[in-house]
Amino acid sequence: MKKHVFLVRHLTHKQRMTGLVLLTAGLAPLLLLSCVTSSIINDSAGTDITQTGPIITLENPTANIPIGDNHLAWYTYRDAGDGGSSTITKNDEKTPGKAEIIHSFSGDVTTKYRYGYAGVVIALLAEELQTDLKNAAGLRFMFSGDGRAYRFSVDTSNVKDGNTFGQEITAPQNPKEVIILFKDLQQNDWEGSPHVPFDAGLITQLKIQTVGQPISSFNFKIWNLEIVH
């Protein structure tokens, strides 16, 4: 099974304003966003890589640290670079009378590529977040959807082969608070893939990805992302 790695460097103010995202294969040290796949991915291949920020507003409970509007960028991705035809669409929903923005994702997963997939990357753009995360117990957020399982994972800079730390979560039909404890996250048992120590201070981004294939239709929503101490 192929392993897909998304690496996001901190974007400059100009790049955030213009929404410029560079995407290719095998050039991670040079580009802001890179994907290790079997071929170069570009817009003509139908890959959805969309920056839409600032995109989240959080409440501020005393025990937790909200992640501010200008500290995140959201991207969708799918299997087009592997010859797949899965789809994913992002829509933002504003709740009347409330500050938060609900980030809604929907699509389908096909088997045109044997291991079809689609997902979302939540990139951490502020260096100070790594300081907050280093001493954190985990993350929490509101989550809802179609009742399906998804894999929540965190990319850390000490993982070089895409075998990220993660766990499966379920998108309940009724909104529910999900708490991710870093101590519970695990790497997959991939042959030849070394396990490394988990260090929350090395987190660069978060991901939520579909599990299994085919999926005729999927949908999930996420909002109120917070760091938990």
- pLDDT-derived band at 67 (thresholds 50, 70, 90) equals low
Percent of the chain at pLDDT > 70 equals: 69
Which tens digit of pLDDT belongs to each residue from 93-119?
Answer: 887 777 778 999 999 999 999 999 999
Residue written as token pair 């907050």: 132
Give bridge partners of residue 199 from the DSSP assignment: none
Length of the chain: 229
How far is it, in rounded angstroms, from Cα 119 to Cα 54?
A: 19
How far is it, in rounded angstroms, from Cα 143 to Cα 159?
A: 27
Using a CB cutoff of 8 Å and minimum separation of 24, what contacts does 100-104 make? 100/56, 100/57, 100/58, 100/59, 100/223, 100/224, 101/55, 101/56, 101/57, 101/223, 102/142, 102/221, 102/222, 102/223, 103/55, 103/56, 103/74, 103/221, 103/222, 103/223, 104/219, 104/220, 104/221
How far is it, in rounded angstroms, from Cα 67 to Cα 56?
A: 8
Q: Residue 197 CA to chain centroid, in angstroms? A: 21
Which tens digit of pLDDT belongs to each residue from 131-183?
Answer: 788 889 999 999 999 999 999 999 999 999 888 999 999 999 999 999 999 99
pLDDT at 91: 93
Which tens digit of pLDDT belongs to each residue from 178-208?
Answer: 999 999 999 988 888 889 999 998 998 999 9
In contact, 29 and 20? CB cutoff 8 Å: no
DSSP summary character for residue 129: H
Q: What residue ranges define each of the domains in the chain, with the CATH number in brackets?
A: 6-228 (2.60.120.430)
pLDDT at 175: 96
Tell me the average pLDDT of the chain.
Answer: 74
End-to-end CA distance of the chain, in Å?
A: 36
How far is it, in rounded angstroms, from Cα 138 to Cα 229?
A: 7
How far is it, in rounded angstroms, from Cα 221 to Cα 142?
A: 8
Q: pTM for the full model?
A: 0.70
Which tens digit of pLDDT belongs to each residue from 217-229?
Answer: 999 999 989 999 8
